[in-house]
Structure 1
């Protein structure tokens, strides 16, 4: 599988899993969504907000790197979170709308990324202002892995609230490799 094919697969997996977990969360009360259950970001809503915050921060960094791709320029208009535990939205419907917009933009953006783009170095400042020079493909893998990691936490929190969200494995989206 080519690297560009893989990042497109990851973007589609990201959208599918976010839709799955947001849909599964809709039946919970605001109290269930916001009760601190001992997760790193406390609650279901806190963890879902953290994923959106992390994505927003990275997409804004990537927008400068992929400036030649018009699809990435919308990332400049996203909010600028100042903390990793910041609540961008206090209700699930508001956060869900933002999440859907982000996921659609991510899919459009990765469709424009070429294999050559993936070999480039991204220069960015972290939240403390420290400058880093990192490989773009490796950062994209971190971007998608970070989402998967925290969605795993959300799935545990949903399970603790009695919510069955179904299968979550990436393998469900990997096409069969059939030779004719």
Structure 2
């Protein structure tokens, strides 16, 4: 498996896992979704919002990469988040619709990448305005790892709330 195939696999895994997490979250009441569970982002809804906001921040950065501009053009109408702890979507249904759109965008974008694109560097500024210059492939690995990390938290929170999301292993998607 080459790096492009790895990125495509991670994009597919991201979508698959988000569907599972959102299906489990949909079984909870609004109060259960908002309940402070002493997680880093407080609630299940807070953590779901964080993942969407974090993905948006990174995708808007990736849109500045020469190889990504056209595929990520639909993000141009979305403002960059300024706070990764905000509840940008207070309603799970609205968040789920946006998440599904974002996941499709990630898959389409991943399919537009080419191997030489991964060797370039990305110049960007973090949310505090500090300039950074990092290898694009490493940033993609971080992007997908960040999603997996917080979905791990979500699966624990959902299990504690009485809803098992089922199999979460990437292995399930590998032929």
Please classify the TM superposition score into its range, dividing by the shorter chain length: over 0.9
CA distance in 2, matches of 1:44, 1:60: 24
The answer to whether the 8 Å contact 2:118/2:137 transfers is: yes
> What is the count of residue pairs matched by the alignment?
175
Q: CA deviation at 1:74?
A: 1.4
Find the counterpart in structure 2 of residue 161 from structure 1.
161
> CA offset at residue 69 of structure 1?
4.6
Quote the residue 1:109 is aligned against.
109
Alignment partner of 2:167: what SS? coil
Equivalent residues of 1:49, 1:86 under 8 A apart: yes
Q: Which residue of structure 1 aligns with residue 136 of structure 2?
A: 136
How far is 1:19 from its partner?
0.4
**Residues 40-59 of structure 1 deviation map (CA, whole Å, 9 limit, x = unaligned):** 00000000000001000000
Return the alpha-carbon distance in structure 1 between the equivalents of residues 149 and 68 of structure 2: 30
Q: Secondary structure at the match of 1:123?
A: strand
Normalised by the size of structure 2, how large is the TM-score? Answer: 0.97
Residue in structure 2 matched with residue 37 of structure 1 by the alignment: 37
SS in structure 2 at match of 1:65: coil
The correspondence of residues 88-99 of structure 1 with structure 2, limited to 5 A, is 88-99=88-99
User: What whole-Å deviation, never above 9, does each CA across 1:140-160 have from its counterpart, x for those lacking one?
Assistant: 000000000000001010011
Which ranges in structure 2 are unaligned for 5 or more consecutive residues?
none
Preserved CA contact (<8 Å) 2:68 2:109 = no
Give the conservation status (yes or no) of the 8 Å contact 1:120–1:136: yes
Match of 2:78 in 1: 78
1:123–1:132: 8 Å Cα contact kept in structure 2? yes
Aligned equivalents of 2:154 and 2:44: distance in 1?
Answer: 6
CA contact (8 A) 1:69 1:112 kept: no
Match of 1:27 in 2: 27
**Structure 1 residue 76 displacement after superposition:** 2.0
TM-score scaled by length of structure 1 = 0.95
CA–CA separation in structure 2 for the residues paired with 1:31 and 1:93 = 14
Corresponding residue for residue 12 of structure 1: 12
